[in-house]
Structure 1
């Protein structure tokens, strides 16, 4: 029997499995994932800020998978492409006929000294909870320490995750001030970004609105400020120091280290794939999500790795696995963004929607749109009951 193996149960991997199972192929479908649950990575910033609990952003894989899919809970440690085997931490190596690699992302430190030791990343449920615990414990400590650095927070990076985290943070800080007894007027929040602008995927008017929204709530932005070192109580940019006892690291992500460890031709653990999402010289293997690098045929630049594009890749990868099995020609991957939605706390945000032209939105209407996007994701990857239970 043909074995189709899918690595990772994020947006892309889980969608591939669902598509293959619904195709009613007689192949043996195996899903390998490190955890027994899927988590909504686009909502980790809310867990880190404390506006959502882990139960709000996870669901049980076994309950959501079709019975025909075998689920193996283990950590992938290596891929032998030539012999078509996957090595796991606690199981014997597994063989496959077709492989869909959707192993996901890790925090990117860019080799900056101290970033890994002293920055708190937001890459999974555990790291988001750890960042939340660090934030709350440090703020609470001010009552006895009276150290102003306990009320200082530095967010490294001004991309999508950073801005969404800042939105949740400034929304929750007044609540934490009342509960933990620290003076809100002495809280200091700095956001440090190497490039000259934040949220480069948005138009200037929406970026200006988002920046103004966060500045009015106490966020200090420092653009064109490359980070050169991170220390236990400071972020350094050449001759500048931004002192704080809470340092949130959201400068970017790279693909899973398993990619480099397994000898792929990669950059930042991302592999440039063929136009059908397969790997050069390995037509039986497809890479999707954060471990893949897909060139835009019009611009030549690589598409950004987002949940939206990951799910689109999943559809193509699943269709192409089936095509290969049936001796048919695979299809080319094509993508058109539906738009981008960035929340600024639970009740505000900015968005650009691509429907018959670009529709620009800002303010409270965006929070409704963000809710629809999140719930649609759960509905497509799990089922109606899971979607209702997550609210």
Structure 2
């Protein structure tokens, strides 16, 4: 009798950690493990804003999957997922097909432009390592071009960031570190380089309380960030954002959209019922009506029944999804009861550059400034440690002197 085959799609926080835990919990004779990922590396999604700003090297934000998962225990397939054929227990890849007995879908997110005209064509996205390298290179190219142009256009030095959520604010926090370096490198007056954040909602960083939001805004403004809050973007052109009822054009040399994400399009291609681009999963993290399909991370809405809304789709939640999912797959194999997901909220911290940040940790303790920035690095290092232990932490962890 053949061993049951467990296929995991995606090597992000949820998928890679699920694979790692399954390899530990199940003996080789109990199940065949397969991990499918587009690239042969995992990247830390929560570090992408630093890659985009150019404050860390892109290689620091990624590590080889084979450094974490033993290829002798887990079959690694590097390919793109096209769709899941649920009726036939089959995964269609670009270059082959796979059958499965149990499936874990953890394919992450794609950028959601909310139908804003021209955004897809004219803006950069914080979405993957390659795209963030393009942002970094484009920003520096604009500064170099300005330096070497006889007819200088100050708009070329403006960096426009759409979206005042976590990613947008952490990006501008890194840009206030990087832009002065570029100005010095290319002998440009710092006052000519602008960083503008545009947010349609009445506030930035909606996950934090008002006092922390006020601190973040004041800190970034003091270092040169301009905010346009409560300002709706109606269109994105090659020149910049068209905003407000009077259709004002805010010009920029670099345009970055960070205003929203949605689950992988593979979900819709595979016929899952979606709510705002994601699947609302059962408490045990299985897709509704599916006994052998688990959906995790940014592909899933996991409901907080006590509050009647989903748990925040964060990296820490995704890694906790992995613990529940691996346990439940092992339970299915052993005919044991399944567990419902319980979120252990360890707090939330946002960086505002190298030595500044805001956060709430340890059940409500508020942090600002250097303590928050230090805690952010602790959080980032913890993720690396959980994946690869001390060796990976020493290779990829963040150690920044204050």
Alignment of 1:20-169 (within 5 A): 20-25=22-27, 26-66=30-70, 67-91=72-96, 93-143=97-147, 144=149, 145-169=151-175
CA distances 1:47-78 after superposition (whole Å, capped 9, x unpaired):
00000011111111112213311111111111
**How much has 1:24 moved relative to structure 2?**
2.8
CA contact (8 A) 2:356 2:372 kept: yes
Alignment of 1:1-391 (within 5 A): 1-25=3-27, 26-66=30-70, 67-91=72-96, 93-143=97-147, 144=149, 145-237=151-243, 238-239=245-246, 240-355=248-363, 358-391=364-397
Runs of 5+ unmatched residues, structure 2: 398-402
Query: Structure 2 CA distance, aligned partners of 1:372 and 1:293?
Result: 27
Q: What TM-score, normalized by structure 1, do the two folds share?
A: 0.97
Q: SS at 1:241's partner residue?
A: strand
CA distances 1:214-251 after superposition (whole Å, capped 9, x unpaired):
00111111111111100001201242221112111100
CA distances 1:93-133 after superposition (whole Å, capped 9, x unpaired):
10000011100011111111100111110111011101111
CA distances 1:313-339 after superposition (whole Å, capped 9, x unpaired):
111111111111112221111113111
Q: What TM-score, normalized by structure 2, do the two folds share?
A: 0.94
Q: SS at 2:284's partner residue?
A: coil
RMSD, aligned CA = 1.1
Runs of 5+ unmatched residues, structure 1: none
CA contact (8 A) 1:29 1:70 kept: yes
CA contact (8 A) 2:175 2:195 kept: no
**How much has 1:301 moved relative to structure 2?**
1.2
Q: SS at 1:99's partner residue?
A: strand
CA contact (8 A) 1:295 1:301 kept: yes
Instruction: Give aligned pairs, total.
Output: 388
CA contact (8 A) 2:80 2:94 kept: yes
